[in-house]
């Protein structure tokens, strides 16, 4: 029998291995690096931005990128670099808050509908109802009713993205619920709370996290679209969307007004999607891969049986 210390080291070695796996997953790594840089930019915006993003300088309108103004200036002569930095801050903040709130509410809604069949019918019809509207239209409508400001944009986006998460959680929870280990827990007399919180949630975590990163990315795009349409963050607050909107009018002679905020949106969304895909690879345990391979082999075998002898 091995000593306690030996067991512990084995255990630690295993943990280190999973960290090594993150590093060997290039997609996840690239995505995480982009997200972390964007997060640092957002948090440190007041220190990074060289100018006040609201400071108007009518003499220096629409100046191309230069040493003083890295990204040039906009049609009010405001420093574009500072505005993009602050815009990233707002976009990132909105995306993160929407992802977290929609994630938590969606998790609760999904779990409730998976485990309580009466509520399931009610909740899922509401979810279907929300789902039936194109998300941008619904968000527009909500903001139009409540008036454009940051809180209303947040509320609109959370409402719009709860259904996608609730559905993923519900279907995953239904699978977990039918597993024998849940029956084994019932045989021990485990409470519903224990089955839900301690056993079901960890088993849904991977699809949930993947869906949340996806919502994070889409919320950023939707917020940009709302702002672009004038129903998002109201001017003069900078957001990547409304900077783009301002840039649209001058796109033929002031390319920097669209290229820089546009690239930041792309970068943010790309980073999140890469991280989401990478996480999926990481969180699926190895067994799943092996099984997938095996079933592929069997499938090729069955092909002959099924189509009879081709």
| Separation of alpha carbons 81 and 49, rounded Å | 7
For residue 15, with 0-12 CB atoms within 10 Å meaning exposed, 13-18 middle and 19 or more buried, which class applies?
A: exposed
Report, in Å, the least distance between residue 296 CB and other proteins: 6
Other CB atoms within a 10 A radius of the CB of residue 96 amount to: 16
Helix (H) or strand (E) holding 155: helix 150-177
Name the 3-class secondary structure at 129: helix
Report, in Å, the least distance between residue 165 CB and other proteins: 20
Q: Which is nearer to other proteins, 58 or 305 (CB)?
A: 305
Q: Which is nearer to other proteins, 195 or 272 (CB)?
A: 195
- Binding residues vs other proteins (CB under 8 A): 1-2, 4, 6-7, 10-11, 179-181, 183-191, 194, 199, 202-203, 205, 285-287, 289-290, 293, 296-297, 300-310
Report, in Å, the least distance between residue 258 CB and other proteins: 44
Q: Which is nearer to other proteins, 126 or 190 (CB)?
A: 190
Report, in Å, the least distance between residue 273 CB and other proteins: 24
Task: Report the half-sphere exposure of 238 (CA within 13 A, side-chain side).
Answer: 27
Q: Which is nearer to other proteins, 26 or 306 (CB)?
A: 306
Return the percent helix, strand and coil in the chain, to nearest 5: 80, 0, 20
Q: Which is nearer to other proteins, 67 or 187 (CB)?
A: 187
Report, in Å, the least distance between residue 183 CB and other proteins: 6
**Which residue shows structure tokens 């997953």?**
25
């Amino acid at each position: 029998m091995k000593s306690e210390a030996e067991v512990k080291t084995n255990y630690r070695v295993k943990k280190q291995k999973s960290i090594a796996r993150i590093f060997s997953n290039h997609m996840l790594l690239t995505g995480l690096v982009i997200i972390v840089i964007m997060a640092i930019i957002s948090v440190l915006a007041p220190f990074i931005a060289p100018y006040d993003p609201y400071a108007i300088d009518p003499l220096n309108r629409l100046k191309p990128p230069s040493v003083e103004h890295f990204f040039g200036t906009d049609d009010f002569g405001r420093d574009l670099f500072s505005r993009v930095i602050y815009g990233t801050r707002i976009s990132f903040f909105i995306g993160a808050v929407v992802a977290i709130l929609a994630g938590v509410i969606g998790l609760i809604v999904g779990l409730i509908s998976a485990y309580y069949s009466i509520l399931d019918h009610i909740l899922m019809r509401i979810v279907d109802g929300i789902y039936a509207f194109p998300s941008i239209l619904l968000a527009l409508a909500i903001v139009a009713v409540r008036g454009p400001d940051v809180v209303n944009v947040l509320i609109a986006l959370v409402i719009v993205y709860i259904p996608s998460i609730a559905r993923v959680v519900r279907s995953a929870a239904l699978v977990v619920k039918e597993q024998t280990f849940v029956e084994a827990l019932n045989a021990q007399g485990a409470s519903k709370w224990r089955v839900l919180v301690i056993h079901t949630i960890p088993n849904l975590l991977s699809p949930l996290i993947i869906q949340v990163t996806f919502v994070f990315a889409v919320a950023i795009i939707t917020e940009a679209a709302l702002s672009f349409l004038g129903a998002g963050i109201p001017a003069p607050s900078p957001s990547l969307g409304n900077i783009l909107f301002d840039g649209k009018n001058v796109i033929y002679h002031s390319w920097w007004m669209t290229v820089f905020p546009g690239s930041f949106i792309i970068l943010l969304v790309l980073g999140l999607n890469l991280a989401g895909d990478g996480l999926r690879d990481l969180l699926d345990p190895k067994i799943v891969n092996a099984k997938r391979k095996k079933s592929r082999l069997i499938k090729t075998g069955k092909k002959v049986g099924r189509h009879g002898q081709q």
